[in-house]
Amino acid sequence: MSDLTCLLPHGAPRRIGFISTRFSGTDGVTLEARKWASILAGLGHDCYWMAGLLDAPPEKGHTAPLLYFAHPEVERIQAQLFGVSHRSRGVTETIQLIKERVKDELYRFIERYALEVLIPENILAIPMHVPLGLAMTEVIAETGLPVIAHHHDFAWERERFALNGVGDYLQAAFPPALSRMEHVVINSMAQRELARRLGIPSQIIPNVLDFETPPPGVDEYNADFRQEIGVAASDWLILQPTRVVPRKGIEHAIELVRRLRDPRAKLVISHAAGDEGNGYLEMLRDRIHEAGIEVHFIADRVGETRGRTADGRKIYTLYDVYPHADLVTYPSHYEGFGNAFLEAIYFSKPVVVNLYAVYARDIDPLGFRTVKIPQLVTRETVEEVRALLEDPPRRRDWAAINFDLGRKHFSHAVARRKLAARLANLFGEGL
C-alpha cells in the first residue's frame, strides 16, 4: 500500500458489488474492473462479483449464466433488436421476461452479500445485453442503493447500434439518470457527449496501470520466448498486443513492416480474433501474403496465466511478451481509451500510435514521445520508425519520459483519489 493510501480518509468500509456480463479473460472491462477492485480493497472495502461468465472465488462471486451476452437466449433476442427500425410485441414480451429473470438474480446477489454499493461495469452504456441494462436500472430505482456506473463505451460510439428497434430502452437505461448515482467515463469525449445527449454529468477516471510497481522483466520462465515463437535475438520484434478486430487497424502495422523492407522486422500479433467474425483476419492474411513479410500469430501461446498447451508447449502471459518487444504498434482507428498504449509505456517500449480521437484529445497533449500515424503510414512514419529501431539510446530516453508521464497521469494513485471522491459524494463523507 502506498503512502498516499495511508493519507487518504477512506470513509466507512463498504460492501461493493461489481456487475457485468463477463468478468473473465483479458478484455478491457474485466481488466479495469479488477484494478478498481484492487484499489478499493486497498482502501478497506470488500468487493464481490456477479456476471454471466465469471472468474472469481466462489465466496466472492455470484455466477448467473443469463447475464452473459453470449447466452443463447440473449443472443437470439439481441439479434432482433439492431439493424431494424422497430420491434414486434412478441420481442418486447421476450425482453421483459428475460429482464425479470435477470432482476431476480440481481436481488439474490445483493442479498447474498448484503451489498451497500453497486458498480455496473459498462452494462448501462453499451447495449450488448438490453434486458440486463433494463433490469439493472429498475433494481437501482427500486433499492435506492448508491451506484458508481463505470461506462467504457456508449451505443452512439458504435455503428452497429445506430439502427435499432429499442430507442425507448436506450433512452431509459443506457445510461439512466437516477439519484445516488455517480457516472464515470474514461475520456473527455464521452463526458461531453453524455452531457450533451442526456444532460448527465460525469467524472473522468482514465484507465490506469500500477506504475508504482516496477514491471516484470525477462526471467527464467520467459527467457526462451523469442526462440519458442521463432524470432531470433537479432530480429526486431514488433508487437501488436491486441485482438484481431477491424477497429485495431492492424493493416497499418502490416504496411509499416512491409515498407521497412528489413528482414529483421518481424510482426508478432498476440491475441485471437474477437467476437466480430473472421472476415477481418482473412483479409489480414491476404495482406501479409501480398506483402511477403513474416508475421507470427501467437494467440495459442498467450494466456491469462503461465501454463502448458495440450501438446506441452509453454503458455506465456502478455507480461512475458512485452519485455521482448523492440517496438509496439497501436494503430487503432478507435479506442475508448487505450490499455495497450499504457502497457507499452509501462514496459518502457517505444510506440507507434494512430491518432485516434481519444489519444489525440486526451493523451497526446500530455507530452508522450511516440511515432504518430496520421491515419495512414507515410514515408516519414517509416523513416522515423527505422531511425528509432537503430537507436537504442533514443529509445531509452523516450521510455524514461513516457514512464514518468504514465506514473503522473495514469497510475493507480490517480484512480484511488478519484474513487475515494466518488464514494465520499455518495455517502456525504468529507475528504
Q: Does residue 219 belong to any structural domain of this protein?
A: no
- Per-residue confidence (pLDDT) for residue 3, from 0 to 100: 44
- Give the whole-angstrom CA distance, residue 98 versus residue 240: 39
Q: Hey, what's the cell of 328? A: 509496439
Do residues 231 and 138 both lie within one domain?
Answer: no
pTM of this structure: 0.89
- Give the whole-angstrom CA distance, residue 334 versus residue 247: 6
Do residues 23 and 155 both lie within one domain?
Answer: yes
Q: Does residue 53 belong to any structural domain of this protein?
A: yes
- Per-residue confidence (pLDDT) for residue 255, from 0 to 100: 97
User: Which CATH number covers residue 278?
Assistant: 3.40.50.2000
Q: How confident is the model at residue 338 (pLDDT cuts 50, 70, 90)?
A: confident
The CB density around residue 296, as the number of other CB atoms within 10 Å, is: 15
Do residues 39 and 85 both lie within one domain?
Answer: yes
- Per-residue confidence (pLDDT) for residue 11, from 0 to 100: 72
For residues 124-150, give the mean pLDDT: 98
Strands (E), 138-297: 147-151, 181-185, 203-204, 236-240, 265-269, 295-297
144 neighbors 45 (Cβ within 8 angstroms): no
Q: Does residue 108 belong to any structural domain of this protein?
A: yes
Beta bridge partners of 120: 19
396-430 pLDDT, tens per residue?
999 999 999 999 999 999 999 999 999 999 998 65
DSSP string computed for 36-82: HHHHHHHTT-EEEEEESEE-S-TTTEEE-GGGSTTSHHHHHHHTTTB
Domains of the chain: total: 2
More confidently predicted of 128 and 5: 128
- pLDDT of 345 higher than 70: yes
Q: How confident is the model at residue 27 (pLDDT cuts 50, 70, 90)?
A: confident
For residues 206-214, give the mean pLDDT: 95
Q: Does residue 213 belong to any structural domain of this protein?
A: no
- Per-residue confidence (pLDDT) for residue 430, from 0 to 100: 55
DSSP string computed for 152-190: S--GGG-GGGTSBS-HHHHHHHSS---SSEEEEESSHHH
User: Whose grid coordinates read 437505461?
Assistant: 173
DSSP 3-state percent helix, strand, coil across the chain (nearest 5): 45, 15, 40
The boundaries of the domain holding residue 30 are: 3-208+412-427
Do residues 199 and 280 both lie within one domain?
Answer: no
Q: How confident is the model at residue 10 (pLDDT cuts 50, 70, 90)?
A: low
Q: Does residue 241 belong to any structural domain of this protein?
A: yes
- Per-residue confidence (pLDDT) for residue 412, from 0 to 100: 96
- Per-residue confidence (pLDDT) for residue 4, from 0 to 100: 42
Average pLDDT score over the chain: 94
Do residues 34 and 152 both lie within one domain?
Answer: yes
- Give the whole-angstrom CA distance, residue 196 versus residue 201: 9
- Per-residue confidence (pLDDT) for residue 72, from 0 to 100: 97
For residues 156-178, give the mean pLDDT: 96
Do residues 57 and 146 both lie within one domain?
Answer: yes
Which one, of 130, 32, 89, lies nearest residue 339 by Cα? 32
Instruction: Give the helix ranges, DSSP H, for 339-391.
Output: 339-346, 357-358, 379-389
Q: Does residue 215 belong to any structural domain of this protein?
A: no
258 neighbors 291 (Cβ within 8 angstroms): yes
Do residues 21 and 164 both lie within one domain?
Answer: yes
Do residues 398 and 418 both lie within one domain?
Answer: no
**Three-state secondary structure call for residue 9:** coil
307-308 and 236-240 strand pairing: unpaired
Q: How confident is the model at residue 367 (pLDDT cuts 50, 70, 90)?
A: very high
- pLDDT of 383 higher than 60: yes
422 neighbors 201 (Cβ within 8 angstroms): no
314 neighbors 228 (Cβ within 8 angstroms): yes
Do residues 231 and 380 both lie within one domain?
Answer: yes
The CB density around residue 65, as the number of other CB atoms within 10 Å, is: 15
Q: Does residue 216 belong to any structural domain of this protein?
A: no
Do residues 181 and 317 both lie within one domain?
Answer: no
Do residues 397 and 347 both lie within one domain?
Answer: yes
**Three-state secondary structure call for residue 251:** helix
Q: Does residue 112 belong to any structural domain of this protein?
A: yes
Do residues 167 and 234 both lie within one domain?
Answer: no
The pair phi, psi for residue 215, each rounded to 5°, is -70, 150
